[in-house]
């Protein structure tokens, strides 16, 4: 009977660790994507690469902020820079 409780504790610990890794994984994805985009694409999109990389890095230190900054970059900013990189520039 005691082994069932230990197995449940192990599963709970694994699940808890996996959930805590989600913000780190999102932040790493956003950081690597932001770093690999050329600086000219950032300029054309009107965004600052250094500011976004710094924000993502700071978000990695403060997990709650990371849950906001990384998805914001991945959903909105990434597409703007990607569009500029592909030559689709819209007037602002």
Give the residue-averaged pLDDT of 16-26.
86
Confidence tier at 33 by pLDDT (50, 70, 90) = very high
pTM for this entry: 0.77
Q: Are 26 and 66 in contact (CB under 8 A)?
A: yes
Residues 6+ apart with CB under 8 A from 26: 66, 67, 70, 71, 74
């Amino acid at each position: 009977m005691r082994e069932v409780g230990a197995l449940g504790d192990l599963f709970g610990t694994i699940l808890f660790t996996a959930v805590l890794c989600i913000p780190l994984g999102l932040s790493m994805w956003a950081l690597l994507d932001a770093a690999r985009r050329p600086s000219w694409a950032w300029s054309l999109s009107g965004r600052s690469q250094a500011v976004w990389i710094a924000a993502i890095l700071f978000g990695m230190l403060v997990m709650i902020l990371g849950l906001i900054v990384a998805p914001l970059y991945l959903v909105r900013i990434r597409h703007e820079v990607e569009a500029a990189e592909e030559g689709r520039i819209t007037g602002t």
